[in-house]
Amino acid sequence: MSMCSKGLTLLSAVAAMLIAVTAVRSTALAAPVPLEGVWRTVEVVIPSSAQTFKPGATLAIFHGRHYSRVEVHADRARPMLADPAAASADELRAVWGPFVGEAGTFDLSGNVVTMQALVAKNPAAMMNGATSVYTYERSGDTLMLTQVRTHAGPVPAPVTIKLVRVE
């Protein structure tokens, strides 16, 4: 191997190491996504109906730019249907009404998170342009979300959701 060839090989190795160190350092220094993780809703405050409840069955996952959430917005267990095929409209509403399920994408800007459902129990949530906009505040393993806007405009009595980080 000629001296020039050895020099080029050494230069290539040094360049590769510098690129690798820069990539690792950039990844390590990248700001963590404040919502990243698995969360459980512990309290929901709905001012318009003067309701506060502590749902037992909830799970929200935020990863990258995607989210998924399933929740039962009720203080007590939903009734069991003896025969779903023969259930009345009121019985079906009692079981399915409090259930929320959706998954989609989200964007962060400052302390604002904009969520766009791609799949949802409620078909209206999946319409083109249908978004939910929340302000958020994170303190350790506690996350507070306050809904401020939907696709229909500002929310006059914002719902506040308190979540705790599971992992």
Domain regions of the chain by residue span: 1-30, 33-165
Name the class of domain 33-165.
Answer: mainly beta
Higher pLDDT among residues 11 and 82, named by residue? 82
User: To the nearest whole number, what is the mean pLDDT of the chain?
Assistant: 83
In whole angstroms, give the CA distance from residue 62 to residue 166: 12
Best CA proximity match to 136, nearest among 105, 111, 163: 111
> What are the structure tokens assigned to 57, written together?
């069955």
Give the model confidence (pLDDT) of 40-90 as tens digits.
999 989 898 888 888 778 999 999 999 999 988 777 788 999 999 999 999
